[in-house]
Structures are given as structure tokens and as C-alpha cells.
């Protein structure tokens, strides 16, 4: 596992950990959960179906006391009703202000769980485990959380910084090419807005990748 990147923000900082496989994040998760009294894993339905053994093993190794909560797929579920359902579910588990939510999924999941964490008991900790390239480079970083209204996207939300972000490249192997393209488009956008060095680095990466395929 590589050294984490530390993200600084107005109220402190949090690490972004990188690893090839989810199982390699075990110690990072344990470290991030040290100050919590309880936690629950919230998983995107599709991710849960694709990686059942890995997720079951992770929950067992973390000694998770609750079954995972499954988050429905699709932008149509990113709404106030789903937030109400999530908060009701975690309240039934008895989570307190010292508890933590672990979000495993794409941008819809990280947005939903992040906003649930920001709202429940006026704010509890959240650990983001993004599983799409777009979520890994954008949605899970920076504390942006929110849900949609019939009148527009992300009209209700909050800035709620995660306790940690855990990025695993193994999730990218199952992504459709369209999903990868969305993530790379976001990376290229940041490169264009940042500096020439970043953009040249991307050019070298794509040239090397093309030469090896």
C-alpha cells in the first residue's frame, strides 16, 4: 500500500489511502475506526453482488456487529426519501454521535451516505470507499454530499468531510468502458485547470497505456 495523501480542510485533515485490493485497507480502516463506538457498512447493491466474498470477509475482520445496509442503484434513488430510510435504519441499530458510517459504492452511494452522516444527530463520521473512477477522483473527495429534488440535481446537501477515503484499484476492473471514460474526463478536466506539468503527465500515461495495448 502506498503512502496516504493528507487532505487539509478548515476543520482539520483526513487521509486518502491507496491500495490494489480492498483487503489491504484493513489496518487503515481499523485506525480510522479507533475513536468510534459503533459502525455500519452501507454498500451499493451492484457492488455487493460483484464482491460478496471480499465484503463479507472485511466485515468479519472488522468485527462488524450489524449486517450491511444495501443502497439501491441509480440516480433516481438519490433523494430525500432514501436519506430518510437510511437514517431510520441506522437509528434502529442504535448508532450514536460517536458512531461511523462506511460507504462502499459509486458517486450516488458516497453522496447519499455522506449526506446521511452529515444529517444524522447533526453529524457523525463517515469513511468513503469509492468503487468507480469518477467517485475516486471527485465524488468521495472534498466533502461534497447531497441529494436531488424533482427540480434539479444536488439541490439539498452539505459539506461534510470524511474521516478517511480508501481507494482500491481492484474495483476498476469490473467497470464498463463508459464509466472509466467519465472518470478519465474528470481527471483531464482537472489537468487542464491545474498546470502544464499535470497535463503532460497524463499525456505520458495515455501514450504508455496505448503502446502496451
Where do the structural domains in the chain lie, given as residue ranges?
5-174, 176-213
List the chain pLDDT tens, one digit each, 213 residues.
Answer: 678 999 999 999 999 999 999 999 999 999 999 989 999 999 999 999 999 999 999 999 999 999 999 998 899 999 999 999 999 999 999 999 999 999 999 999 999 999 999 999 999 999 999 999 999 999 999 999 999 999 999 999 999 999 999 999 999 998 999 999 999 899 999 888 877 888 888 888 777 765 555
> In which order are the strands placed within the sheet that holds 164-168?
5-9, 12-19, 164-168, 125-130, 100-105, 39-44, 69-71
- CA distance linking residue 62 with residue 35, whole number of Å: 14
Residue 75 belongs to what H/E stretch? none
Distance CA 166, CA 170 (A): 12
- Closest residue by Cα to residue 166 from 135, 141, 130: 130
Q: Which three cell numbers stand for residue 23?
A: 483487503
Q: Looking at the domain that runs over 5-174, which CATH code has it been given?
A: 3.40.50.1970
Percent helix, strand and coil across the chain, each to the nearest 5? 50, 25, 25
Amino acid at each position: 500500500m502506498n503512502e496516504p495523501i493528507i487532505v487539509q480542510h478548515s476543520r482539520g485533515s483526513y487521509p486518502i489511502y491507496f491500495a490494489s485490493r480492498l483487503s489491504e485497507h484493513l489496518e487503515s480502516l481499523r485506525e480510522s475506526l479507533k475513536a468510534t463506538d459503533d459502525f455500519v457498512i452501507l454498500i451499493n447493491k451492484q457492488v455487493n453482488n460483484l464482491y460478496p466474498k471480499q465484503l463479507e470477509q472485511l466485515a468479519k475482520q472488522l468485527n462488524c456487529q450489524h449486517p450491511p445496509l444495501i443502497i439501491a442503484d441509480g440516480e433516481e434513488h438519490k433523494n430525500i426519501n432514501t436519506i430518510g430510510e437510511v437514517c431510520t435504519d441506522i437509528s434502529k441499530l442504535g448508532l450514536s454521535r460517536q458512531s461511523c458510517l462506511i460507504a462502499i459504492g459509486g458517486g450516488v452511494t458516497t453522496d447519499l451516505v455522506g449526506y446521511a452522516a452529515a444529517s444524522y444527530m447533526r453529524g457523525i463520521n463517515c469513511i468513503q470507499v469509492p468503487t468507480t473512477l469518477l467517485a475516486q477522483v471527485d465524488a468521495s473527495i472534498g466533502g461534497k454530499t447531497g441529494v436531488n429534488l424533482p427540480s434539479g440535481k444536488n439541490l439539498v446537501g452539505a459539506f461534510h468531510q470524511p474521516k478517511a477515503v480508501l481507494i482500491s484499484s481492484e474495483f476498476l476492473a469490473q467497470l464498463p468502458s463508459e464509466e472509466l471514460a467519465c472518470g478519465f474526463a474528470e481527471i483531464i478536466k482537472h489537468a487542464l485547470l491545474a498546470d502544464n506539468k499535470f497535463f503532460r503527465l497524463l499525456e505520458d500515461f495515455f501514450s504508455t497505456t496505448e503502446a502496451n495495448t
